[in-house]
Amino acid sequence: MLEYGFSDQFSIEGRLVGRDCPVYVIAEAGVAHFGSEEKAYRLVDLAADAGADAVKFQIFDVDALISNALPDWRERLSDRQLPYEAFQRIQSYCRSKGITFFATAHDEPSLQFLSTLDTPIYKVGSGEVGNWPFLRRVASLGKPLIFSTGMFQRAQISEALSVLRETGNPDIAVLHCVTRYPTPPEEVSLGNMLWIRENHRVITGYSDHTRGFHFPLAAAALGARIIEKHITLDYDVPNAQDWKVSCGPGDLGIFIQQLREVEAGLDARPLGPTAGERDSLIWASKSLVPVRDLPAGSVLQASDLVGKRPGTGIPPSRLDEIIGKAIKVDLAKDQVIQWEHLLD
């Protein structure tokens, strides 16, 4: 348990998330199925084959989510909702593929339905900024909760975490996010993720809305414990925005592979060469060699010697120890000097 009352680790279907754990990778399918259940299965395949830990969808009912004040958005999303019963089948398909299924519920009826699926974790989207009753309701379901902070002010992040703390649910993670599609580099502000972690002592991560995947890799290097990246099967879709910031069949696997490589490169190791570096010591390091031919009996001076590759003889760091010593044998220019060449 962290000092602010939140867990430093929690489990999602047996997979530990948080401190000292591998980055938890969420493939955000969202509404990239565009109302096709068959396409939703293909998105699951994409996420599972690429090695994501989880695939996440968005569940909503247009009538419950959007008022008549936004007729364009009602029209835009009406053909991108799946019936609730479809998500039961998608969840079963995820189990058959060995990947965790969960979802963001965007309205109360959808949350009530989602709770019947007994998903191992809940996600609250950035659109619930200021909707603390809904945040409290989700946290009170007793499962780990991830929420994104797009459009949040820092004071609202603090307020949301205070609300969550009051529920007694310690298993909370906060994803830094910018709700812009695509987010330009100068607005990514990964430093905000560090601010959340340092000021609230909570598991932190990053929900990405940039083109490519270099910013999620940077977030992993900065200590994100959860990374969420949109996925898609379709591009250049009119009146849609997620595809602009998504990985697809051509690059999702590359992204996750590179993330795991970055992760492996962050581990500290004891000082000293690795096993692989020991081979390099021979050709990359240097030994002392004469700058000219030296006859036996010569007394070595600093001006007689220089450091050159390979590192198979006396290293330059030992120069002071051999100055003033005589040599037993003739030494040719550039010959690697060994201790046995020296008189005691």
**pLDDT recorded at residue 271:** 78
Q: In the chain, what are the helix, strand and coil shares in percent, each to the nearest 5?
A: 40, 20, 40
Give the position of tokens 């949040």.
Answer: 152
How many residues would you count in the chain? 344
Q: Which helix (H) or strand (E) holds 307?
A: strand 305-308
**pLDDT recorded at residue 180:** 97
Name which CATH class applies to 9-265: alpha beta
Cβ–Cβ under 8 Å, residues 300 and 321: no
What is the CA 162 to chain-centroid distance, rounded? 26
pLDDT in single tens digits along all 344 residues of the chain: 555 689 999 999 999 999 999 999 999 999 999 999 999 999 999 999 999 999 999 999 999 999 999 999 999 999 999 999 999 999 999 999 999 999 999 999 999 999 999 999 999 999 999 999 999 999 999 999 999 999 999 999 999 999 999 999 999 999 999 999 999 999 999 999 999 999 999 999 999 999 999 999 999 999 999 999 999 999 999 999 999 999 999 999 999 999 999 999 998 777 788 888 888 988 999 999 999 999 999 999 999 999 999 999 999 999 999 999 999 999 999 999 999 999 98
C-alpha span between 220 and 335 (Å, rounded): 48
**pLDDT recorded at residue 267:** 84
**pLDDT recorded at residue 13:** 98
Cβ–Cβ under 8 Å, residues 110 and 124: no
- What are the extents of the domains in the chain? 9-265, 275-341
When the candidates are 3.30.1370.60, 3.40.190.10, 3.40.50.880, 3.90.1210.10, the CATH number that belongs to 275-341 is: 3.90.1210.10
Q: Is the dihedral of CA 218, 219, 221, 227 positive or negative?
A: negative
DSSP state of 218: H
pTM: 0.89
**pLDDT recorded at residue 98:** 98
Phi first, then psi, for residue 43 (nearest 5°) are -65, -40
